[in-house]
Amino acid sequence: MKPFDILLALWVAVIWGFGFVFTRYALTEMTPTLLNLVRFAITALPCLLLPRPKLAWPVWIGISLLLVWQYLTQSWGIAQGVPAGLTAVIVQSQALFTIAFAAVLLGERPTRVQLIGIGVAACGLLMICFTVGYDFSFFAFAVTMTAPISFAFTNLLLRRARDVPMLDLFAWISLASLPPLAAVALLADGPAAIAASLTQLSPGVMAAMLSLSIGSTTIGYWIWGRLLHAYTAAQVVPFALLVPFIGAGASSLVFGEQFGPLRLSGMLIVVAGIAIMLLFGRARPLPEVG
């Protein structure tokens, strides 16, 4: 890769990692439902300039609903006390579930190295399970664990849109996600609470929302898609391994999050398992969401 493109890949990993920090910060003034409604509304704005990609409606609806569930559950988990750094690691475990679901649903036999990576990552998740119940509930952890599962199903559907530009794709997917997000926000928060919250947002939270929407999603995916078109997945995808490290490190510095020896070991083992799958398992390209 060219040095400039390496810097771009590193920058994307940084903004995706910090996305978990911005999410926790925004949740100090917004509910998870409102946060995601505003985020997807901003992300959908490029639809005014970009053509709608050709994609079957069942795929559109499936991806939209899965993304709504993924972002709602991971932000709800953070709101319930699941550390943002730990959430970053949990979400990246989608690589494990993607390979497993592809094997079960599509008959794709994982390689021996991929099976080793799945086993290593699963051991790390099990270690994290043993730390649950002290600073956040097991229920919050269980709900957060559905985010990478939803992410994995999204990956399988996204295989039908490999030739579609990522910027166009996610802008229009964001637009399709607005109706279910608006319905959930109205039911969970109510019109009065939504209006009051939007009129009282601090400049810091507004900046965090713009960073999540424009930085992490719009610009991040545009750069990521550009890199995937210019280089092989084996050259680009490994940079995503930096996301959980950056997310955990930034959360520790900004919020003072601390991880005990068992949880920290589990987090490192999960990332090690993902690294085995991506670097040595000859896995298919796995789209990443910050």
CA 196 to chain centre: 28
User: Which of these, 271, 225, 18, lies nearest to 127 by C-alpha position?
Assistant: 271
Helices (H), the chain: 3-26, 32-43, 57-79, 84-92, 94-106, 112-129, 138-158, 166-188, 191-199, 203-210, 220-230, 233-236, 242-255, 261-275
Q: How far apart are CA 42 and CA 81, in angstroms?
A: 26
Nearest of 147, 225, 221, 176 to residue 58 by alpha carbon: 176
d(CA 187, CA 181): 10
Are residues 42 and 208 in contact, defined by beta-carbon separation less than 8 angstroms? no
Quote the pLDDT of residue 234. 62
Give the pLDDT score at 203: 93
Q: Residue 212 is inside which H or E element, if any?
A: none
Q: For residues 41 and 234, what is the distance between their CA atoms, to the nearest angstrom?
A: 33
Q: Which of 62, 272, 256 is nearest to 159 (CA)?
A: 62
Judge residue 5's burial from the number of C-beta atoms within 10 Å of its C-beta, 0-12 exposed, 13-18 middle, 19 or more buried.
Answer: middle
pTM confidence score: 0.85
Per-residue H/E/C for 83-129: CHHHHHHHHHCHHHHHHHHHHHHHCCCCCHHHHHHHHHHHHHHHHHH
Q: What is the C-alpha separation between 55 and 160, in angstroms, rounded?
A: 8
Residue with tokens 């229009």: 172
CB neighbours of residue 128 within 10 Å? 24
What pLDDT does residue 96 have? 83
Tens-digit pLDDT profile for the chain (290 aa)? 788 988 998 998 899 889 999 999 999 999 999 999 999 999 999 988 888 888 888 888 898 999 899 999 999 999 998 998 889 888 888 888 888 888 888 888 888 888 898 899 889 888 888 887 777 788 999 999 999 999 889 888 877 776 777 788 888 989 999 999 999 999 989 999 999 998 899 999 999 999 999 888 888 878 887 787 777 666 777 787 788 888 888 888 888 888 888 888 988 898 888 888 877 765 444 444 44
Q: Which amino acid is at 84?
A: A
Q: Say what the pLDDT of residue 35 is.
A: 94
